[in-house]
Amino acid sequence: MKVLVTGAAGFIGMLVSQRLLARGDAVVGLDNLNDYYDPQLKRDRLARLAHERFSFVKLDVENRTGMDELFARERFDRVVHLAAQAGVRYSLVNPHAYVDSNVTGFLNVLEGCRHHGVAHLVYASSSSVYGGNTRMPFSEHDGVDHPVSLYAATKKANELMAHTYSHLYGVPTTGLRFFTVYGPWGRPDMALFLFTKAILEDRPIDVFNHGKMVRDFTFIDDIAEGVVRTLDRVASPDPAYDPNQGDPARSNVPFRLFNIGNHEPVQLMDFIGAIEAALGREAKKNYLPLQSGDVPATSADVEELAAWTGFRPGTSVDEGVRRFIAWYREYFRV
């Protein structure tokens, strides 16, 4: 197949692209290489994608003309849409960046799929859509109408927009709600990266909500495997869907939503302990209140993903953190 991967220079995009290339697909990778974090890390990820079946396009997804021309020229079979303005906390500082990239950009992707016969669109949603939900584990069948950050609201908007295009134009769409992705080549604004850097530099780490947080940390290899498996099973209408009952994750059109998480939530202090063990150093801790837009706990019910793809993430935090630390020491030579 010829697959468009947006956000190909990103953390998840790089590994998904590698897996598609390894099995024989042609990949067009799109990224704008913005400076939300060090673009050199993005360029180094791209360097790992050098392949005769890989081509790179530097483009903003919110560039309507550029996206129209790209879809018309390349005639993609399938699309993996991962490009987005990431980060819950940054959405409190620069909200316009989230609407431009995550809403307008997603509309351009949907329009490209609609007008150029794309057989399946798989796109990144987020566990943040669960917002104020407190029932654990989070289920795709629960309502998600109370986001607590603009980032979460844009991801919920993506799911609604996808359903609209599945309904109006028959575009098969599958949304994946990622749960706290971590691992080698990860984002420098994420906790694992920040904690590791601070500990090695003998600086204190910021521990929010006084450490009373739980996260469904999900290793990057598991995420990439879930994305590719989902891409291979095209979304289809649910014959059992009852419009009188309603179900946020199902429909009578080719639309699906799945959680993709490790389904074994970990206490933040245990996660920090795994980092300390891998580094052989104890962290200095600066305990702080819960930040605006954040939630105290996440936990993924992945039974729907397992039933649809036959796959459940399963890499332990101890193993995943060890692999990250090994990469970090090699990449930064520390």
At position 293, the amino acid (one-letter code) is: G
Paired strand residues for 49: none
Q: Mapping DSSP to helix (H, G, I), strand (E, B) and coil, where does residue 88 land?
A: coil
Distance from the Cα of residue 235 to its chain's centroid: 19
State the Cα–Cα distance between residues 306 and 242, nearest whole angstrom. 22
Give, rounded to a whole angstrom, the gap between the first and last alpha carbons of the chain. Answer: 40
151 an active-site residue? yes
Name the active-site residue from 151, 165, 182, 328: 151
Contact 214, 267 (CB under 8 A): yes
The answer for residues whose C-beta is within 8 angstroms of residue 285's C-beta and 6 or more apart is 204, 205, 207, 211, 272
Q: How far is CA 185 from CA 37, 43, 193, 276, 334, in A?
A: 13, 11, 10, 19, 15
Active-site residues, by number, are 151
